[in-house]
Structure 1
Amino acid sequence: MKFLLALFALIISSLSLYADHGIYFKSNEVSKENRTGIDITHKNNISYTKSFTIAFMLSLRETETHYGEILSLKEEHGKNLIQVTYREPDLYVILNKKETKFHCNFNSLNLLRNRWIPFQLKIDSENGEISLTLGENHFKNSIQFPKSSEFSLSLGVINKYGFFIDEVPSMSVKDLAIHIDGTPKHLWPFRKVANNELKDILSSRTAKLYNPDWVIDYHNRWMKIKTLSFPSLPSMAYDKKNEAIHFVLKNGTASTYSFKTGTLVTNNKNSGYPVFEKSQQLIIDSNNQLVSYSLNQNDLSTYNSVNQSWSHADSVTNDLPKWWHHNKLIHPINHQITTLCGYGYYSYSNSIKSFNEKSKVWTELKLKGDVIEPRYCSSLGFSTKNSNVVYLFGGLGNSLGKQILGKEFYYDLYRIDFKTNEIKKLWELQQNDQFQYLPVNSLKVTEKDSAFYTLLFPCQKSSTHLRIAKGFINDPKLYFIGDSIPYEFVDIKSFADLYYWESENKLIALTSQETDADAETYEVSMYSISYEPGADTELNMNNDSLPFAIKLFYVFLAVTLLFLIFFVRRKIRTKIKIEKLENDSILTFQEKLPTFEIPQVNSILLFGGFQVFDKKNKDITYRFSPTLKELFLLILLYSLEDGKGISSRRIQEFLWPDKPEDKAKNNRGVNIKKLRGILEDIQGIEITFDNNYWKMILEENIFCDLEHIQKCIDTQITNSDSDKIEEIIQILHRGTLLRDIIPEWLDSFKDKTTGTIVSTLEELLTKFDFEPSIRLAISNVIFGFDQMNETALRVKCNLLSIQGKHSLAMETYENYIKLYVKLYNEKYQFTFKEIVSENTTV
């Protein structure tokens, strides 16, 4: 028993080593039929003798959804019903539709939203007690509950208790565990799955999902918040206290975008001007006031938000700032505006200067310790443990600070202590010359100063992308995480930054780019991602070993597997054999198909999902934002269909139907430019505009799986074309066309392609007498595209039966008839015996 408990704790701890997982419950932001529910006991109830405990991690989001069911539990023998209900800001435990003494106020208990909080509900029928744990708060009361009973359990919107449940709060749940009579029996981590059933990793149970969303997606996927347009270059500053971004134009106009309300408020100034320079010289001071400062004029101007006025009477602008892309902060000791590093007048700087408002003098600070080499485009962030400490990461420059002597990309980390006036170099990464990445202006340090996050972008091209990088304070490693954000980097004319949205526990990415050089108009885009970001697919940029946490997880996993193998060795061996047969069912006969490798150089793969490889065998799929991906596919698919391409008007109808023609034209032009920038890395592909049509030209060295399949199908395949048949099977075995991309315009392409593929493969099966391995492979591919295809059913069941794999044949048949009843609401007309008989064999 003690070993089982230790093993259970081991599994729980190993789960926490992953990036955030869990179910994200869709609430009243969607219609009632699309809200999330989990039926834990959808097949059968859970029995207990004396007691049971239900425990999970709970996170409530800060939204307008203030009411709903968290948990519903029905005990069968005594007909007891327990509901855990949330009504902002209170959590209630309801017993048999009557309120109990368990009434927890999140605000009074200082329980934060958007944070994981331990939840535990225990029923002790032997001692007549019910207890509730919420965070570090514990409650207990008496209850009458029968012994030796069973219960059903669900989370969110599940209608099985004799009344209608249609409200669920905006919550997320992970790591649901159930202890029965003091022993851990069930554990659902709620990690992302492709179907709607979650496996209990401690037993054979499953939980049924309805309309799930996944926490991990919000930690790996950037969500666009807003794009704003400005008539001239805006200076920007993040107001951490009010969770808003301030935008200031050189004429003094000040706008504020609030993340809390999602609104932009613009105030035309009544008097005064900022001291405006083009290097983002705007900051929030220690009094939470907006201040613009000048490094050329040795001056500053403070904005009074009440009077909507600037303290500087005259307009002071300078088109050529002294130091571009420098870092800035409010000095933690003297509270003066302080700048670090920067680029200007063909020089790189490593100086640290503070501005004395009274004497109007910039004073260079003299710090002891290590020397920061001159640079610009570095990333700066405050320590979360020590308010006097900042960390400076990366940049571009050289040791002598002169541009004519060349440039060096820095991947180093410095600790700067303004109390002790000391700089300490913590580490430096050595990268090859091809690795040319720059960070954005700010970084976010984790709560215990163990790691930091920033955004990196490759700066070899103007049309580039931002991606989160995770670094470790005391360990020289960097990892890419999550998807990317498009970014136009034109050196001193571009700006990007990273902020922390505390109440929502999210990171905010901001990009600013010039949209019209003649008019000097600018566009600012804002994106969010859940904090801490992370994924199972972290990329070690140094090709070093895996992080210690992941190593530790695999150690835990190995121990657990060894323990299970020791006790259930025979069962596992049998299961492995069956699974191996199932996995190899595409090639179960002795004569295997020869190996065909799908090219991964200059290749475009559409079957099974969207994937693009460049001329260096590098997967560059991450560089395609959702809009770029859809634009790319529109041009490609219409070009492959008739060789003509797609008109600008059709592109506008599909991608920007609600925008006026001039806006849509501008969007199209910007995205075509970005797309062409990406395609430069693929040798042999070109986007042309001819006769009012956008067309994609693929040279012979480009491999596109859809084009390859079309050519194979257009030729007359014979019984001897084994190589061509093998290529078709290997390509289509990856899956259906663009299965994870679902815009409406794509449906016609998918339907046409699926119909052509299925009919062609059916014809091959009926027309030619292929080897059994080929026939079985073709039937599996058909099933992948048409799960109710009767030809594939007959061929597969027949071949498996001939080979003696009767259980696999029967399982294939049973799965088919279950799905048939579900889809057509009637019983399938042929028995298994009829399917495998010679008279019905295809």
Structure 2
Amino acid sequence: MNPMLTKYCPLFFAFLMMCAFRSSGQSYGLGFAGHEVVQEKRTGLDLSLERPMCFDQSFELSFDLSFVPGQADYFGYIFRVIDQQNRNIDLIYDMRFLENKHFKLIVGDKISDIAFDISINSLYKHWHNLKLKFDIKKQELTMVANGKSYLQKVSLNKSCYKVLFGANNYKDFKVKDVPPMRVREVKITEGNKTNFYWPLDQISGVRATENIGGREATVANPIWIKKMHHDWELVKTVVIKGVASTALAPEKEDLYLITTDSLITYNITSGQFSGLGYKSKKQQLLGGNQSLYDKGTKRLFNFYIDQKLVTDFDFTKQTWSKPYISPDVITNYWHPNKFYSSADSSLYIIGGYGQYIYKKSVFRYHVPDSTWESVGTKGEFTPRYLSALGVSKKGAYILGGYGSATGQQILNPKNIYDLSFFDVKSRTFKKLFELKPKKEEFAFANSMVIDEDSGTYYALIFPNQKYNSSLQLIKGSLTEASYELAGNEIPYAFHDIHSFADLFYCPESKKFVTISLFHDEKTNLTTAKIYVLSGPPELASAASPELWLSKNSWLMLTLGALLLIAFIVLYRKRKEKLHQPSVVGQKTVPHVIEAGKELEKPETLSDMTSGQSAEIKNAILLFGDLQLFDRDGNDITKYFTPLIRELFLVVLLYTIKWGRGISTEKLTEILWFDKTADSARNNRSVNIAKLKTILEKMDSCQISKKTGYWKIIFEEQSVKIDYSQYLNIVNSKGEIDKQRINELTQIIHRGSFLSNVEYDWLDAFKSEISNEIIDTYLHYANTVKIADDPEFLINLANYVFYFDQVNEAAMIIKCKALVHLGKHSLAKTKFETFCKEYKAIYGEEYKQTFQTILE
């Protein structure tokens, strides 16, 4: 092929690919972890790891920038450029000064004349294009931000440069101060030609693809924004005594968990978690209760249909307006749908299930006069539960569910897939259309998110015929029977009336929120799991390379193909002219490859990660969620039923903690206290046999009773158990050093001990482990002077707060270390936060002052 076509055809195909991918959405870029994580976990982007970038003429670095909202510290390095003379040129965001010039360009050891500002709220909500021009002819740097230019005279020569964003470990230019930012569309232009282009539009990996010259960049601790729009993040797990319900205040982005004794709040933006105890008596919540927040009146309601009870919460007085009548019979209305109608100031409750009957009833509670009404409705509506409801101006959309035409559970119950609209004014149901499931049958989480302007909705579906289920977000149309999968799946333990899931949307942060509740009747504990996904969600087809041709993509491909054809036609005409006889002899410029230069073998992902994140095999992980991996590295936790899981844990912990294991009598007392001796014996035999089968998938790990006690027999060299490693560390306090502290941190970094399970007998283990971790950290902290390692001590204090948010010793350590680093305002903020939390927990003011703790 002619060199010209060889040169430009790939560019056309790259253009086509970029158009196709961009058409699927603009949610991409690289997020940077900053001061909110320890130094080793902060994000860095190196455009020049393998070799510096060399330029013979003026060049320009450009990129898009935005900030992550809700963080405490935004100080740090946007980028650092280093020339061959070891001179650094840095763009820094400095949050300490108030003269409205937070962005500063540093040249060497001096602050240049280039300083500017962008509104912090605008940085949260929008992308901003920044350019730094290196003008060799004029000997000046030009910074362009939001269309404004800022100049700085500086000596510039033809040189080679290191280009680094965020954190880096390069020689004497190491940087760990990183603002919580997002970067995309990084380009380097020389003259009028773009030589390098990193869109940063990946979903995973530690290599950033470069689309023109094939020069990959390396990323440390990447936070891929596209991944944040595709993968749900588990942000909080809470275990609550008794039953609970949930609601969201969208204007504050506060997710509420309504419990028997307190109102728990999790803020989606900041991640702050707090509890507000009731000043009235406990609310004796009953199974099947639900809650709803109306953003118009800013009122939080809780209701229970069987008692005709609607109670609302007074945030000032911290009281509920009405109490429950307890005890009461089991509800007849599990999983109904609900919405608040501002048109008539009423709460509407639709459908539900109870006593083997599916419901089609509609109840109306008129808030101003506190009256109930059973609404007579018109139109077709099949009795159901497990439906999704989304409110609109004139009523509500109701999608799918599970039920039967007669309402009788014994008469052909099945999954329902129609989308209906309930009109409040006419009290009429109207069926709009019916979906066709693409794979297995499914039901719906309780709510859906409606966007009437675009005529679309989002809802959560899940297979309702199995316990180990999963929630999947879908995007559908309000006008036609079509839907697409969006994002990845969320694990969901579905045990019918004991499980509940809901979907919310936060318009300010553009985040979707999923919460799942699972109530264990045996322990009377509810486990709540909160997941967050950045919007707009990545459609499953957009996230899969093999399915990237969306509807819009075909339009762009067609346009691109026409452009390519036009280019070829013009090229051939030009070629015909060039082939005409010429008076001057033409010289052919040969394509030269330098001898002795072989192509370098590219560094692969496995090369970079070897030794850092080896595959987990033959392991039992107890910190964070319980996980077991077999000899081949497969996760076998899914084979545990709730009872087998508890049996395994009680035997394992008694074995590791005390060595001897657990007696049959004690095991029966814990697990089968409500059974007769024969029944307990049969249950024990059956479940131990099942446990043996599961453990056979691991090497050197089995359950035994050879000593007269039930024990888990394992070889420490063959089976990795993080709890055993943990005990080795905390039981050697006299030998604790920084390396051992880091090993401890690595273990607990997965989460608190068995965070996804709660048993009465386990409370003592959890309490003891929390105290041991705190004591170990503080024991080591007392051996280190603040001046010797203040950053490490700050991180150490943060881990103590993870287990005890009002630990006085950790607060003092952190404040002193922050003051030593010159971060006085952060130290004062931490102290004030501590005082507020101290008062909330203990009901009294913290006695010491800020100055006192620093002495």
Shorter-chain TM-score tier: 0.5 to 0.7
Task: Name the TM-score, length of structure 2 as normaliser.
Answer: 0.60
CA drift of 1:162 comes to 5.8
Q: 1:123 aligns with which of 121, 129, 133?
A: 133
Aligned to 1:680: none
CA drift of 1:291 comes to 2.0
Q: 1:689 to 1:402 in 2, by over 3 A?
A: closer
SS state at 1:15 partner: helix
Aligned to 1:630: 628
Question: How do 1:575-654 and structure 2 match up within 5 A?
Answer: 627=625, 630=628
Q: 1:492 to 1:78 in 2, by over 3 A?
A: closer
Aligned to 2:62: 54
Q: 2:536 aligns with which of 528, 532, 552?
A: 532
Aligned to 2:401: 395
Whether 1:24 and 2:31 are equivalent positions in the alignment is yes
Give the partner amino acid of 1:106. Answer: S
Q: 2:21 aligns with which of 15, 18, 33?
A: 15
Task: Name the TM-score, length of structure 1 as normaliser.
Answer: 0.60
Give the partner amino acid of 2:468. Answer: S
Q: 1:692 to 1:204 in 2, by over 3 A?
A: closer
Rounded Cα–Cα distance in structure 2 between residues aligned with 1:563 and 1:197: 35
Rounded Cα–Cα distance in structure 2 between residues aligned with 1:651 and 1:33: 33
In the alignment, is the contact (CA less than 8 A) between 1:272 and 1:312 conserved in 2? no
Question: How do 1:253-292 and structure 2 match up within 5 A?
Answer: 253-259=262-268, 260-271=270-281, 278-285=287-294, 286-292=296-302
CA drift of 1:28 comes to 3.1
CA drift of 1:178 comes to 3.2
Question: How do 1:200-239 and structure 2 match up within 5 A?
Answer: 200-239=210-249
Q: 2:339 aligns with which of 326, 329, 349?
A: 329
Give the partner amino acid of 2:470. Answer: H
Percentage identity across aligned positions? 20
Unaligned regions of 5+ residues in structure 1, if any? 572-577, 583-607, 612-624, 640-644, 670-685, 699-703, 708-740, 748-842
SS state at 1:111 partner: helix
Q: 1:410 aligns with which of 408, 412, 416?
A: 416
Unaligned regions of 5+ residues in structure 2, if any? 1-6, 572-589, 592-597, 603-613, 618-622, 638-644, 672-684, 701-718, 726-855
Residue by residue, what CA displacement relative to the aligned partner does 1:380-432 show, whole Å, maximum 9, x if unpaired? 2346xxx5564432212234544443223223334556589886655422238
Range 68-77 or range 646-655, more displaced = 646-655
In the alignment, is the contact (CA less than 8 A) between 1:5 and 1:184 conserved in 2? no
Aligned to 2:434: 428
Whether 1:141 and 2:126 are equivalent positions in the alignment is no
CA drift of 1:37 comes to 1.6
Rounded Cα–Cα distance in structure 1 between residues aligned with 2:690 and 2:183: 54
CA drift of 1:461 comes to 2.1
Residue by residue, what CA displacement relative to the aligned partner does 1:226-276 show, whole Å, maximum 9, x if unpaired? 3333332123222333333333346x65444444353341414325858x5
Q: 1:472 to 1:627 in 2, by over 3 A?
A: farther
CA drift of 1:490 comes to 2.6
Question: How big is the alpha-carbon RMSD for the aligned residues of Structure 1 and Structure 2?
Answer: 5.4
Question: How do 1:274-423 and structure 2 match up within 5 A?
Answer: 278-285=287-294, 286-312=296-322, 315=325, 318-344=328-354, 346-363=356-373, 371-382=380-391, 390-414=396-420
CA drift of 1:39 comes to 1.9
Residue by residue, what CA displacement relative to the aligned partner does 1:446-500 show, whole Å, maximum 9, x if unpaired? 6963543332221112332323333344453334444443333232232111223
In the alignment, is the contact (CA less than 8 A) between 1:688 and 1:694 conserved in 2? no
Give the partner amino acid of 2:80. Answer: S
Residue by residue, what CA displacement relative to the aligned partner does 1:45-72 show, whole Å, maximum 9, x if unpaired? 2537455351235442432332111122
In the alignment, is the contact (CA less than 8 A) between 1:50 and 1:148 conserved in 2? no
Give the partner amino acid of 2:211. Answer: I
Aligned to 2:103: 92
Q: 1:548 aligns with which of 551, 567, 570?
A: 551
Aligned to 2:460: 455
Q: 1:3 to 1:503 in 2, by over 3 A?
A: same
Question: How do 1:134-213 and structure 2 match up within 5 A?
Answer: 137-144=146-153, 149=158, 152-158=162-168, 163-192=173-202, 196-213=206-223
Aligned to 1:103: 116
Residue by residue, what CA displacement relative to the aligned partner does 1:703-732 show, whole Å, maximum 9, x if unpaired? x9x99xxxxxxxxxxxxxxxxxxxxxxxxx
CA drift of 1:202 comes to 1.3
Aligned to 2:800: none
Give the partner amino acid of 1:141. Answer: Y
Residue by residue, what CA displacement relative to the aligned partner does 1:167-226 show, whole Å, maximum 9, x if unpaired? 111223233233443443322122448874433211232323334343344344443333
Rounded Cα–Cα distance in structure 2 between residues aligned with 1:25 and 1:284: 34
Rounded Cα–Cα distance in structure 1 between residues aligned with 2:360 and 2:206: 55
In the alignment, is the contact (CA less than 8 A) between 2:335 and 2:352 conserved in 1? yes
Give the partner amino acid of 1:139. Answer: K
Residue by residue, what CA displacement relative to the aligned partner does 1:503-539 show, whole Å, maximum 9, x if unpaired? 654333222222233x533322223333334366679
In the alignment, is the contact (CA less than 8 A) between 2:541 and 2:550 conserved in 1? no
Give the partner amino acid of 2:235. Answer: I
Rounded Cα–Cα distance in structure 1 between residues aligned with 2:563 and 2:213: 14
Aligned to 1:63: 71
In the alignment, is the contact (CA less than 8 A) between 1:506 and 1:528 conserved in 2? yes
Rounded Cα–Cα distance in structure 2 between residues aligned with 1:647 and 1:294: 38
SS state at 1:66 partner: coil
In the alignment, is the contact (CA less than 8 A) between 2:78 and 2:90 conserved in 1? no
Question: How do 1:758-837 and structure 2 match up within 5 A?
Answer: none
Residue by residue, what CA displacement relative to the aligned partner does 1:774-830 show, whole Å, maximum 9, x if unpaired? xxxxxxxxxxxxxxxxxxxxxxxxxxxxxxxxxxxxxxxxxxxxxxxxxxxxxxxxx
Rounded Cα–Cα distance in structure 1 between residues aligned with 2:327 and 2:687: 43
Q: 1:355 to 1:138 in 2, by over 3 A?
A: farther
CA drift of 1:440 comes to 0.6
In the alignment, is the contact (CA less than 8 A) between 2:114 and 2:143 conserved in 1? no
Aligned to 1:775: none
In the alignment, is the contact (CA less than 8 A) between 1:129 and 1:140 conserved in 2? no
Aligned to 2:501: 496
In the alignment, is the contact (CA less than 8 A) between 1:50 and 1:124 conserved in 2? yes
